[in-house]
Amino acid sequence: KQEVTQIPAALSVPEGENLVLNCSFTDSAIYNLQWFRQDPGKGLTSLLLIQSSQREQTSGRLNASLDKSSGRSTLYIAASQPGDSATYLCAVRRGGSSNTGKLIFGQGTTLQVKP
């Protein structure tokens, strides 16, 4: 059974810091991994999607890496801003015969960037 874990559950940093959010998964047979942002009481916004054959994806100040063999992904946020404050969720889509499209989510990391 695929399980996704995100550590830490919460993180508070001063504005301008570079930071790393961690995501681990127990079954390396994934199809892809997606990072989302969720603002309080809102839906999810897709940030980055990494295919299982890729090692990283970048969008602006965000960089996501994937190491399938160790079951890990990281989301790197450069020069953090107060507007980055939100909950960040990672989700994996299983591969092989279990590839039905559904995502399995971690519990999220709630980030607060202080001005």
CB of 105 to other proteins, least distance (A): 3
Comparing CB distances to other proteins, the nearer of 23 and 77 is 23
Comparing CB distances to other proteins, the nearer of 90 and 113 is 90
3-class secondary structure, 82 = helix
Comparing CB distances to other proteins, the nearer of 61 and 102 is 102
Residues 22, 8: Cα–Cα separation, whole Å: 7
What is the binding site for other proteins (CB under 8 A)?
4, 31-32, 34, 36, 41-46, 49, 51, 89, 91, 93, 100-108
CB of 15 to other proteins, least distance (A): 25
CB half-sphere exposure, 60, CA atoms < 13 A: 7
Contact 2, 27 (CB under 8 A): yes
CB of 115 to other proteins, least distance (A): 25
Residues 69, 109: Cα–Cα separation, whole Å: 23
